[in-house]
Structure 1
Amino acid sequence: MKTVLYARVSTADQTSAHQRTQAEAAGFKIDDVVADHGVSGVSTRLVERPEGRRLFDMLRAGDTLVVRWVDRLGRNYADVTETIREFMRRGVIVRTVINGMTFDGATKDPMQQAVRDALIGFMAAMSQAQAEATKEAQRAGIDHAKADETERTYKGRKPSYTRPQFVMVRDMLAMETGTSEIARAAGLSRQTVLRIKADPAAGESALLAWGL
C-alpha cells in the first residue's frame, strides 16, 4: 500500500514541490508525486488530464491519495463528487492536507455514510464557489489596475508576498481559516494577511502591476 500526492499546478498557483512540503509538514509520508501542470480544474475533469489518467491507473485498493485540498481534484461540483466516490468504490482512501479530511468507503453504517457524503458534497460545492470567486477577484483586480492612467504608470509599492502566497491566503480565507494560522502556513505577517483579507482586489491589482 502506498501514499500518492496529486498536485494540480496552474501558472498562478503553487508548485508541486511546495504542495509536497506542505503534505510532509502535516505528517504524510509521500511515496510518489503525480502532478498536472497548466491544466484548468474548472473545464478539465481529472480523468481527462494526462497525469490524472495515470493516477486512476496506478492507485489500488488500500492506497491513499493525498491532495492539498479537494480543489486539486477539480473545481466543478459534479466532477469532484464523482471523482472522490469513484476512488472510494475502488478502495482508495482520499485525504486532504488542509483541514485533515479523510474519505473512504470502508464504513457500512448508513448514518456515517450520509455524513461523509454530505461533507463531500459541501467541499465540492465550496471548491466550485471558490473558482467562481477567484475569477471575479481577478476581473476586479484587472479593473482596479486599469481604473486610472496615472495608477497604471506608477506601480506603487511592491507586494510583500508572492502570487503562490497570495493564492494560499485567499484560498484559506475562503475556508474561514484563522488569520494567525494562515500567516504561519504562508510565511507572512498577520498584518499582511489582514490587508489581503480587507481588499483582495487591490492585492490582485498589485501583483498584476508588478508582473507577479
Structure 2
Amino acid sequence: MKAHLYLRASTKDQDALRAKASLESFAADKGLVVANIYSENISGTKLHRPELIRLLDAAHPGECIVCESVDRLSRLSQSDWETLKAKIKAKGLRLVIADLPTSHMMVQDKGITGQIMEVINSMLLDLMATMSRLDQEKRVERIKQGLANKRLADPTWTPKGKGKNVEKWAKIQSLIIKHPGMSADDIAKLADVGVATVYRVKQQIQAVAPLH
C-alpha cells in the first residue's frame, strides 16, 4: 500500500521535516511504500494549505495519509475538521497517525474487526482533533492575556511585529519571474523559506500583474 507522509510545523523557525526519518521508519515497519513526502510551515488552524491540498490531489483511493500526530494534521475548527475529513473520505484515503495505535489498523484489509476498529478510531480522531483545537485556543488566549497585562503595566508599550524578510522576498520574486516554470518546492529550497511563503509572494505578484 502506498503512503503519503504529511509533515507540518507552525512557523519557519520550527522544522517541519523534524519527524521525516521517524515517519519513514514507521511506514517501513507497517509495510507501506512511501509515494511522496509533503512538508510545510503553516498554521494547523488553516484548512487551505498548499502541500496538504497537493497531497489530496495526488493521492489515489486505498492509499494512506501518514502523520506523526493529530495536531500535525489539524488544529482546525469543528466545521473545518469535518470538511477535511469529508475530503479524505471522498478520496477513499486511509488516515494513519503514528502516535494513535488504533489508526494503524487502517493499513490492513477490513474485516469485521477492522470495521469495529474504524468506528473506534474515528471517535478517537475526533476527540484528539478537538483537544488540539482547544489547546490552540488556550495558547492564543494566554498570548492575548500577556499582551493585555503588558499594556496595563505600560500604556505606551506596543508589540513588535514581524516584518517581511525583504531580501528573501526579493529573491523569491526574482526566481518566480526568471523561472516561471519552477516548482514552489524548488523555489523554497533555493530561497531557504517555507513553501507557504513562496505562495504568498506569488499571490502578491499576481495581484499586481498576473503570471502567464
* TM-score with structure 2 setting the length: 0.54
Task: State the structure with more CA Rg.
Answer: 2
Say yes or no: does 1:41 pair with 2:44. yes
1:83-113 deviation line (CA, Å, top 9, x unaligned): 2343234221111122334175975867555
CA contact (8 A) 1:74 1:80 kept: yes
CA contact (8 A) 2:7 2:40 kept: yes
2: CA distance between counterparts of 1:3 and 1:114?
Answer: 21
**SS of the residue 1:78 aligns to:** helix
**SS of the residue 2:4 aligns to:** strand
Name the structure 2 match of 1:134. 139
1: CA distance between counterparts of 2:111 and 2:27?
Answer: 26
**SS of the residue 1:61 aligns to:** coil
1:8-58 deviation line (CA, Å, top 9, x unaligned): 222277413212123235x22344211222x2222x21xx22212211111
Instruction: For 1:159-174, list aligned pairs within 5 A.
Output: none
Counterpart selection for 1:117 from 122, 127, 146 = 122
Per-residue deviation, 1:124: 1.6
Unaligned runs of 5+ in 1: 150-212
Please provide the CA RMSD for this pair: 3.3
**SS of the residue 1:75 aligns to:** coil
1:104-145 deviation line (CA, Å, top 9, x unaligned): 597586755543332222122112112112223445666789
CA contact (8 A) 1:64 1:93 kept: yes
Name the structure 2 match of 1:90. 91
AA aligned to 2:40 is: D
Name the structure 1 match of 2:75. 75
Unaligned runs of 5+ in 2: 29-33, 155-212
Q: Percent identity?
A: 24
1: CA distance between counterparts of 2:131 and 2:49?
Answer: 22
Aligned pairs, number: 145
* TM-score with structure 1 setting the length: 0.54
**SS of the residue 2:8 aligns to:** strand
Name the structure 1 match of 2:8. 8
Name the structure 2 match of 1:28. 27
**SS of the residue 1:28 aligns to:** helix
